[in-house]
Amino acid sequence: MAQEIIEVPITGKIISVDTNVGDEVQEGDVICFIESMKMENPILAPVNGKITDIQVAVGEVVETGKVIAIIEY
């Protein structure tokens, strides 16, 4: 199986995590929301697959490039 690593595109604060390890996701499903510059930005699944790892938590301040989640497909 292949893996898709989802990384933080913008520095901000995680305000919600909408998936759990083991969840099946479809391309376009919301993985989490990041607040940056007073805007809520959804982080979407780029592929269909299964969440195998989540490396962020609500309230965490994240920098560009940090891994959010890994999807196996």
pLDDT in tens, the chain (73 residues): 899 999 999 999 999 999 999 999 999 999 999 999 999 999 999 999 999 999 999 999 999 999 999 999 9
Rounded to two decimals, the pTM is: 0.93
Q: Say how far apart CA 1 and CA 43 lie, in whole Å.
A: 23
Q: Which pLDDT value is given to residue 52?
A: 98
Q: Say how far apart CA 27 and CA 4 lie, in whole Å.
A: 12
Q: Say how far apart CA 73 and CA 7 lie, in whole Å.
A: 17
Q: Which residues neighbour 12 within 8 Å (Cβ) at sequence distance 6 or greater?
A: 34, 35, 36, 37, 41, 61, 62
Q: Domain residue spans in the chain?
A: 3-72
Task: Tell me the fold of 3-72.
Answer: OB fold (Dihydrolipoamide Acetyltransferase, E2P) (2.40.50)
